A and B are shown apart, each in its own frame.
Chain A
Amino acid sequence: MNTKSMIGFAVSLSLAMVAVPSQAGDSGKDLDAKTAMIVKRDFRDKGIAKATRVNQDELQAACSKYVDKLPKKLKAKLEDKEAEAIKWPADGKFMGDWKAGEKLAQSGKGMTWKDKEEDPRGGNCYNCHQLSATEIAYGTIGPSLLHFGKERGYGEDIQRYAYARIYNAKAGNACANMPRFGHMGILTEAQMKDLVALLLDPESPVNK
């Protein structure tokens, strides 16, 4: 074995060790590639939902490949990257109007191929979370947020935390189920502030 082939051997050995099989089997990589090809070919534009939506960003691709269980290093790297991209409110304030927040939380509308670009978008919150005690039709995919402020306090640090979580839940947990409402441009800054107020205004029904 000459030097060159030894290096080649060492490189391929280390590559083999790094390549964690994602979705089982030796042919996993081929199947990943074939799946990507099929998905790109078999979805088409409909209304505002353009075919390009199936193109994954780095985070979506990684979470799909590892079925939401990322290797530690990659998880930390992706979370840092998402956190760095958070755009904080220019006025430094996080609190909006909880009443507007409650309305937003109730609505699951927006961004499907049946919706128009200009249609108001909802926060989808009750689809997955318990919030106000009076709303019993809440989903359970996410944790209960009832008494969010009452249990955690109403300070600016927690406001900042809530804003970041809504803006980009993936900054805290790379493969979280929750959409990245700010990062992906689903909600506006003002809307996200209204949701922070729903969670953290002492007068909000969430804290009653």
Chain B
Amino acid sequence: MNTNQIFKAVMVLALSGSLTAVAEEKAVTDSQRIEQYREMISDGNPAEFDEMRGEELWKTAGGPKNASLEKCDLGKGKGVVKGAYAEMPRYFKDTKKVQDLESRLLTCMTTLQGIPEEQITAKPFASDKKESDISSLTTYVVGQSKGMKMKVSTKHPKVKEAYEIGKRIFNYRAGPYDFACSTCHATSGVRIRMQDLPNMRSSKKDAQTAYTGWPAYRVSQGLTRSFQWRLNDCFRQQRFPEPKYASEATIALTTFLAVNANGAEYVGPGLKR
């Protein structure tokens, strides 16, 4: 058992204990319960292990070019990690693209380290069997924006356009179930089964809370999940085909959601059921 596994086991025990205890109080809602266990373990989010792994990866020379990522420009200058995530997605002159954190890391890993893109995008998400470098790097970078205000600028016309396209993707109904993001996330105060759903189209507060808690450690999966993963799994449940990792569609949607969260304090990496 490695540290991560031990932590996971302790967490699950602690959580099941708290759930049994509160299950007896019928007045306690599911979301209150989740809030309760978030508080309980807020001193030790297992995402911290992934942050540490990511930091190590950032600073260690690797790839065919045997380079670290310390010269990677996340928008605030080469190697500046502090506060970078709170201002992403943003427009990058070198790639002439609007990029979210994960697509930008992809750029740095391919250009600075010489790792082939397909090698990274083939399995960009962590699993029980294998950790993901780009996912851990993401966890590290977002942790360096903890406590900062979300400030994604739409001044650049390309970012503004990405926002508009993202809004359209949010409302895009398709597939055998006719679902869009908006089917579940454009009404306030509703839930699926017992799961409360944030209204990310018209509630500023919901949009802020939902966005700033990701990436997050998923207790039920025992893994830290990136924002690209969050979108990927939403589309799965929407009965859509798979969005390509770090594609323009996912970046546009992320831009829409990130801009809607502007003004809120970034609190991730978060902790989810």
Contact = CB atoms under 8 A, between A and B. Distances in A.
A35 B244 CA distance: 15
B240 interface: yes
Interface in A92-131: 108, 111-114, 126-128
Interface in B131-173: 161, 164-165, 167-169, 171-173
Contacts of B176: 53, 111, 179, 184-186
A55 B190 contact: no
B193 A137 contact: yes
Nearest to A50: B241
Nearest to B237: A112
A179 B178 CA distance: 6
A45 B241 CA distance: 6
Given A43-B249, A141-B187, A186-B177, A53 B241 contact: yes
A39 B181 CA distance: 14
Given A138-B193, A177-B183, A186-B176, A35 B168 contact: yes
A7 interface: no
Interface residues of B, number: 41
A112 B169 CA distance: 19
A133 B247 CA distance: 45
A53 B192 contact: no
A190 B179 CA distance: 24
A128 B192 contact: yes
B175 interface: yes
B239 interface: yes
B65 interface: no
B194 A46 contact: no
Interface in A52-105: 52-56, 59-60, 63-64, 67-68
Given A23-B167, A112-B236, A141 B242 contact: no
5 contacts: A23-B167, A38-B165, A49-B241, A53-B241, A137-B193
- 7 tightest CB-CB pairs across the interface, nearest first? A42-B249, A46-B242, A42-B247, A35-B168, A179-B177, A43-B241, A60-B173
